[in-house]
Amino acid sequence: MNHWHLFLAFFRSGMLGYGGGPSSIPLVHKEVVERYKWVNDEEFGDILALGNTLPGPINTKMAGYIGYRVAGLLGMLNAILSSILPTILLMVVLLTSLATFKDLPWVAGMTRAVVPVVGVMLAVLTWDFFNKSKKKMGWGKSIGLVAFSLVIIQYLGIHPGIVITGILVYSLTRKDRVVHEQKLPKRGIS
């Protein structure tokens, strides 16, 4: 049953994610976090951050990782194929028919209408991630992290992938340190 659900989840996100990778991220989130609950929001954020540091389409990278996590090597292949199959089919069908209708005003209007929809979907997902970080870290640390990242990326010219990797490594080592400190026995002065 997992293979069928993997196929459906990534086929839907591939089919409805018109406009490239960023438009499919909220759709993948809806499928893997909300519908099938294969990962939670924090894990999804980590997968997304790690996927953004690697080259290639984000939907395919996320499909590969989540497919492998859910059903092993066959799950990975299933998820990757189901995420690229809609693109292949649509390219064949749409490119042959779009060449005929590309100059019509309603076709141009449809393609321009997609941009604000994708923008709103990404804004909602970003706001959701920010609210979750606010609950875990508080307003000050969340705003500080956003400001720090913005300065490093925009003004120092450091690639976002390096910043994301640094934040992930820092947070993982911090979690390990906190878990290790909680396991240590408390020693009092006698």
Give the DSSP letter string of 94-156.
Answer: HHHHHHHHTTSHHHHHHHHHHHHHHHHHHHHHHHHHHHHHHHHH-HHHHHHHHHHHHHHHHTS
pLDDT, greater one: 113 or 163: 163
Integer-rounded Cα Rg, in Å, for the chain is 20
Q: Where are the domains of the chain?
A: 2-104
> pLDDT category, 37, cuts 50, 70, 90?
very high
Q: How confident is the model at residue 103 (pLDDT cuts 50, 70, 90)?
A: confident
8 Å CB contact between 90 and 17: no
| 10, 81 contact by CB (below 8 A) | no
- DSSP assignment letter at 157: -
pLDDT higher at 174 or 81: 81
In a 3-state reduction of DSSP, which class is residue 188? coil
Does pLDDT of 55 surpass 80?
yes
User: Tokens in use for 86?
Assistant: 């809609």
